[in-house]
Amino acid sequence: MCNGCVQKEYPDRGNTCLENGSYLMNYLGCANCHQRDFVLISNKATEDDDGEEIVTYDHVCKNCDHVIARHEYTFSVVDEYQEYTMLCMLCGKAEDSISVLPDDPRQSAPLF
């Protein structure tokens, strides 16, 4: 992975987890060919590991095929929550958890 292509390595993205795409606000340009053009996705793979879906792919320079960053996204259901994580030098790091129930028990107000 190339730290010369990004403004900040692994920026904190809060709860924004990308299953596909690129965070171009963090892209400086290709450190190899010195062009700032589109970022392509290559080597995309999806695997299901014991109930956890893992999506991985490479962010690649459109002009010279330089690998900018490796992206990993995970999805799983734990108890009654959908859990999402993302880790990528370009897109950043993030985690999110969403209840599968109509009303999230963590956000309900106490009755008393």
Chain segment 25-36, per-residue pLDDT in tens: 999 999 999 999
Residue 48 makes CB contacts below 8 A (sequence gap 6+) with 54
Indicate the pTM of the whole model: 0.85
Strands, E, within the chain: which ranges? 39-49, 52-61, 67-78, 81-88, 92-99
Chain segment 29-67, per-residue pLDDT in tens: 999 999 999 999 999 999 998 889 999 999 999 999 999
Structural domains in the chain, CATH included, are 3-99 (2.60.40.4240)
